[in-house]
């Protein structure tokens, strides 16, 4: 982070200094007292599980040089020189300061949103842009009112590029995030039925994603999925420069002639550039195309990075494969919505290896009034694909099981559980050697906990001995 004075920080979010020495310099921002570094300004954020105001003294004792609060806070005489700034809302103040700080940066900012693939596209974009200059990115999936500001504070003027991920489950959230980040390139990876509890409909999803364009910098570029009708519609109304990516003839960055190679693919880009993508999942071709489109939007020659993905690794819990006991587990449990579940199913059905294909699917959350129908549609998809065994976990996912059976999947191939804890060693023992088990579900389901059950089961299993 570039150094800021306390005076300019206070002005950035209209705070009130209630104690302490104002002649200090801020070298970093912290929202977690456990990771405070000397020179940090600590923001006491109120969360669902805890209140950061309880940890102001701890932050002070571990190196913080000031704190931003919104609650009443008693200043002890021993700490009278410790700067404390009061604001109406600490989360809002954090965003306002990040917006101010972003305007001081010379860095080109790329903002990425979409219903699926945001994090993978962000990682791919970081991977290719790093070939053209020093690049910063969001850590993990830091894409909300806390994660985006924290990422911005980690960017310095030495960075040529900064890649931000922006998520939403309610109207107005991306508008605020784009206001904070002020992207020079705005990206919508795709639009599908997600977060319908807050966004109500696919139209609501499209409107929410389009908010990223409201704070695009002057002369900024809109990068969009040309195959997605909602993205294309938004692009058609946008008055500035656009770069589309996809498989259709409307795409500026177009994929043609795809071939399977090992666990990944090789494809032609714009009919002449041979691109190897040695990672699984057909949907990741689209994410890869988005990163190339971003390069084009920034004026780079994509021929320079056509082989960049030979060293790329997917983020955790995205088609993450491991061998446990005598079966293969594919952990795709980071999150789930109808489109991402279909992509996972397609990937599983196309695996050409020995062993049965087992799909373990948990609830897809936040789908509102369409939840039951959307789960049923997944069940119908399962029955059309080469899936040998279906396990569902959760009350909504039970609709997947019902629809699969009513669509022709034999009842003996479908098992339903109310919760992850209901999966017992007896069920795991029914799996056969070399079975391939793909695990998918919304973040709130914590489907990765099933993997721990597999590890425990196989650690206790006694291998058969040859008694000759």
Q: Which pLDDT belongs to residue 112? A: 98
CATH architecture of 4-89: 3-Layer(aba) Sandwich (3.40)
Architecture of domain 320-460: Alpha-Beta Complex (3.90)
pTM for the full predicted model = 0.94
Burial of 181 (0-12, 13-18, 19+ CB in 10 A): buried
- Predicted pLDDT of residue 71: 82
Distances in Å between the Cα of 271 and the Cα atoms of 112, 392, 403 are: 26, 42, 41
Count CB neighbours of 171 within 10 A: 15
Place of tokens 């699917």: 361
Q: How far is CA 439 from the centre of its chain?
A: 17
Q: What is the C-alpha separation between 259 and 224, in angstroms, rounded?
A: 24
Dist. CA 402–CA 406, nearest whole Å: 6
The token pair that represents 24 in the structure block? 């200090």
C-alpha closest to that of 436 among 332, 319, 348, 335: 348
The residue ranges of every structural domain in the chain are: 4-89, 105-311, 320-460
Please tell me the predicted confidence (pLDDT) of residue 463: 56
Q: Is 105-311's fold the same as 320-460's?
A: no
What per-residue confidence (pLDDT) applies to 209? Answer: 98
> Is residue 399 helix, strand or coil?
helix
pLDDT of residue 465: 46
What pLDDT is attached to residue 466?
Answer: 47
Q: How many CB atoms lie within 10 A of CB 417?
A: 20
pLDDT for position 462: 55
What's the helix, strand, coil split of the chain in %, to 5? 40, 20, 40
Amino acid 467: pLDDT: 44
**Residue ranges of the chain with per-residue pLDDT less than 70:** 462-468
Backbone CA torsion sign across 409, 410, 416, 420: negative
Architecture per CATH, domain 105-311, reads as 3-Layer(aba) Sandwich (3.40)
């Amino acid at each position: 982070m570039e150094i800021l004075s306390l005076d300019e920080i206070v002005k950035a979010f209209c705070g009130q200094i209630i104690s302490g020495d104002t002649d200090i310099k801020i070298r970093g921002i912290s929202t977690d007292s456990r990771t405070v570094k000397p020179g940090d300004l600590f923001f006491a954020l109120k969360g669902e599980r805890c209140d950061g105001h309880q940890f102001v003294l701890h932050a002070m004792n571990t190196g913080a040089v000031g704190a931003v609060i919104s609650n009443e806070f008693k200043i002890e005489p021993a700490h009278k020189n410790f700067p404390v700034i009061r604001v109406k809302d600490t989360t809002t103040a954090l965003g306002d300061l990040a917006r101010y700080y972003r305007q001081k940066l010379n860095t080109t900012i790329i903002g990425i949103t979409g219903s699926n693939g945001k994090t993978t596209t962000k990682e791919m974009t970081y991977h290719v842009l790093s070939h053209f200059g020093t690049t910063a990115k969001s850590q993990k999936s830091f894409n909300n009112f806390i994660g985006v500001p924290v990422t911005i504070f980690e960017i310095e003027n030495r960075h040529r590029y900064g890649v931000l991920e922006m998520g939403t489950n309610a109207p107005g959230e991306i508008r605020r995030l784009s206001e904070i980040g002020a992207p020079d390139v705005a990206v919508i990876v795709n639009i599908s039925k997600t977060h319908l509890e807050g966004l109500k409909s696919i139209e609501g999803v499209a409107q929410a994603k389009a908010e990223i364009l409201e704070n695009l910098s002057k002369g900024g570029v809109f990068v969009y999925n040309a195959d997605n009708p909602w993205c294309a519609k938004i692009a058609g109304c946008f008055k500035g420069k656009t770069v589309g990516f996809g498989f259709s003839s409307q795409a500026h960055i177009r994929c043609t002639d795809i071939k399977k190679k090992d666990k990944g693919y090789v494809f032609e880009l714009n009919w002449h550039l041979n691109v190897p993508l040695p990672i699984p999942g057909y949907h990741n071709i689209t994410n890869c195309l988005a990163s190339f489109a971003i390069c084009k939007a920034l004026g780079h020659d994509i021929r320079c990075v056509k082989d960049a993905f030979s060293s790329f690794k997917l983020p955790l819990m995205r088609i993450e494969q491991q061998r446990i006991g005598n079966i293969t587990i594919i952990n795709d449990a980071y999150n789930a919505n109808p489109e991402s579940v279909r992509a996972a199913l397609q990937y599983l059905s196309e695996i050409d290896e020995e062993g049965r294909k087992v799909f373990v699917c948990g609830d897809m959350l936040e789908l509102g009034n369409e939840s039951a129908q959307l789960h049923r549609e997944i069940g119908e998809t399962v029955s059309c694909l080469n899936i040998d065994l279906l396990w569902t976990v959760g009350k909504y996912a039970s609709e997947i099981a019902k629809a699969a059976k009513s669509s022709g999947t034999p009842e003996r191939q479908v098992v339903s559980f109310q919760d992850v804890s209901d999966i017992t060693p007896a069920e795991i023992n029914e799996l056969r050697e070399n079975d391939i088990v793909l695990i998918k579900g919304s973040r709130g389901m914590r489907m990765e906990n099933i993997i721990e059950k597999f590890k425990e089961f196989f650690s206790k299993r006694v291998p058969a001995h040859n008694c000759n």
